[in-house]
Amino acid sequence: MSDLVTLSVPSTGKREQTKQQNRRAILDAARGVFGELGYEVATVRDIIRRTNLSVGAFYNYYRSKEEVYEALSDDGARRFRPILQAQYEAAGDFPSYIRGAITAYFNFIVEEDEAWRNQPTAVDHRHPHVQGETPEMKAVFDQVRWSISDALDRGAGPRVDSEFLAAACIAIAREVGERMLERRPIDVPAAVEFAVQMILGGLPALPPPKV
């Protein structure tokens, strides 16, 4: 009996490894397809053609291209979370956390943007890590809210509603980040400064535009 149990473990592990590999193959293929054809034009069949999977195998993992896109969103948020946590751990006070987190986020989306643009004949550069709401993206929000709440509790920031403040910080970072990616050349320091000053001081704290 013990021998049978021992033999079943590698089999289960191999199946799980195969599932992970198939999911990764689908996401990699989708990233390429969305980058080259554009999200609206791309189809499930376009994604499947980039893999070695059958149609049936694809639908074992995702029911639509929308679900694949959400999975890409989760993938980006999952990779960003430890970066965000590192910024919290390194920050000495509330302003330094905000500046560090936004700088890290802007650098992250610039790297993601470059990866999508490097797809041959890329036409669609929307960034799945900043679109919609997924479980991993909610986890990022919860992490930001907890970090802000902790800073406020320690007297290291303004005494305001931490949930509202977290929502405002994320909204500003998302929108400013998207506009930053549309400009050429991309100026991360300028975008960071604008977002940080907007969060910490509001409109009166913003510097006048350069003439």
* Average of per-residue pLDDT across 61-70: 92
- Does residue 193 belong to any structural domain of this protein? yes
- Number of Cβ atoms within 10 Å of the Cβ of 138: 12
Residue 133 pLDDT greater than 50, yes or no = yes
- Does residue 105 belong to any structural domain of this protein? yes
- Does residue 133 belong to any structural domain of this protein? yes
Q: Of residues 76 and 55, which shows the higher confidence score?
A: 55
> CATH number of the domain that 97 lies in?
1.10.357.10
Place of tokens 């999975």: 71
27 in Cβ contact with 68 (< 8 Å): yes
- Does residue 149 belong to any structural domain of this protein? yes
User: Can you give the pTM of this predicted structure?
Assistant: 0.75
CA–CA dist 66, 68 (Å, integer): 5
Domain count, the chain: 1
Place of tokens 């980040």: 177
> What confidence score (pLDDT) does residue 11 get?
63
CA distance between the termini of the chain: 80
- Does residue 4 belong to any structural domain of this protein? no
- Does residue 210 belong to any structural domain of this protein? no
CA–CA dist 69, 47 (Å, integer): 11
pLDDT range class, residue 7, cuts 50, 70, 90 = very low
- Does residue 2 belong to any structural domain of this protein? no
Question: Each residue of 144-180: pLDDT tens digit?
Answer: 889 888 887 776 666 778 888 888 999 999 999 999 9
pLDDT range class, residue 53, cuts 50, 70, 90 = very high
- Does residue 53 belong to any structural domain of this protein? yes
Residues 6+ apart with CB under 8 A from 107: 188
> What confidence score (pLDDT) does residue 121 get?
47
Q: Which domain holds residue 149?
A: 10-205
* Average of per-residue pLDDT across 188-208: 86
